[in-house]
Amino acid sequence: MTSTTLSPQQEREFEEVTAPLRGELIAHCYRMLGSAGEAEDLVQETYLRAWRSYDRFEGRSSVRTWMYTIATNSCLTALKGQARRPLPSGLGQPPGDPRTAVVEDRSRDWLEPLPDRVVWGRDAATVDPAQAAEATESTQLAFVAALQELPALQRAVLVLRDVLQLSAAETAQVLDTTVASVNSALQRSRVTIGDGLERSGRRVSELTQAERDVFAAFCEAFERYDVPAVVGVMTAQAVWQMPPFDRYYVGPQDIAALIGTQCPASGPRDLRMVPTVANGQPAAGMYLRHEDGGYRAFQLCVVDLQEGRVTGVVGFFSEDAFTRAGLPLVLER
């Protein structure tokens, strides 16, 4: 960045005080927008706006609150006239029949995953675990999907109050409204979401060794194309989703039928699974073997693990998701 208004000292100071906030601001904008790509763009816009006005920053609030104010209001502007980004289970329809052909719906924008690499710009394993846990708090897919049910202002209030732990007065300052309006919006948002506040899968940093073993078994079962073993680690009400296909499937029996009838793989070594982290959760890039013997990106699977069982899987058919996760689009034989 260049500027004609900031002195060299101000430029250095701006970088020092704002650079550590980039990861958490990306997570914040993602919660608001449901899109990793849009979150990156809005954070870039936030830094540009902050840079241009830094010489007028008077310190009446912390730099962090000031940056969140810019980012939140940029998100609210972006959300005007924009439809929510759902998962298939959020469309208000019953579970799909796994024996019926799946149907793509490209007419809507779906909720996207947030690979942890997007937050950090590098392998999340190299980030301090405490810092990573704080920044990715409440980015789990189920929670972000629940947020999409809220009008934009209620969404902002819930995130600022319940995730970022700002006071009602601080939240009112960020949104340029009253404390009474903030409290009212918070109450309505909590009623709308209900148990969506609590139903998120566990973050990687929270997994027990037994749960890590369950995730490893899940991945290995796919590579063997052992469908009974894949669904054997799932709960009775596990949900399988795969946007942009518009249905969801519930329970090991239907999920097994879906894999058996709709998945283009047919035997061992047709699939390869490369573990990664997305939305703070265990995830894996699933690759499908092609005629030349190489493997191509198929879907990025984000896994909900609770109490040692898989409660849900969302498979994203998006090459962008692989790229953002730092995964190749092609694996060698």
pLDDT (tens, 9 = 90+) of the chain, 333 residues, equals 444 577 888 888 899 999 999 999 999 999 999 999 999 999 999 999 999 988 888 777 789 999 999 999 999 999 998 999 999 999 999 999 999 999 999 999 999 999 999 998 755 555 566 666 666 678 999 999 999 999 999 999 999 999 999 999 999 999 999 999 999 999 999 998 876 666 677 889 889 999 999 999 999 999 999 999 999 999 999 999 999 999 999 999 999 999 999 999 999 999 999 999 999 999 999 999 998 889 999 999 999 999 899 999 999 999 999 999 999 999 987
Give the angle subtended at the CA of 305 by the CAs of 300 and 308, to the nearest 5°. 140
Q: Containing domain of residue 61, as a range?
A: 1-82
Specify the pTM: 0.92
Q: What is the CATH number of the domain that holds 114?
A: 3.10.450.50
- Based on the fold, state whether residues 72 and 212 are members of the same structural domain: no
For residue 148, being part of any structural domain is answered with no
Last residue of a domain, one of 51, 82, 113: 82
Q: Give the chain's domain count.
A: 2
- Based on the fold, state whether residues 94 and 106 are members of the same structural domain: yes
| C-alpha distance from residue 214 to each of 83, 223, 271 (Å) | 36, 14, 18
Which pLDDT does position 199 carry in this prediction? 60
- Based on the fold, state whether residues 103 and 76 are members of the same structural domain: no
For residue 295, being part of any structural domain is answered with yes
- Based on the fold, state whether residues 58 and 1 are members of the same structural domain: yes
Last residue of a domain, one of 35, 51, 82: 82
- Based on the fold, state whether residues 13 and 114 are members of the same structural domain: no
- Based on the fold, state whether residues 211 and 322 are members of the same structural domain: yes
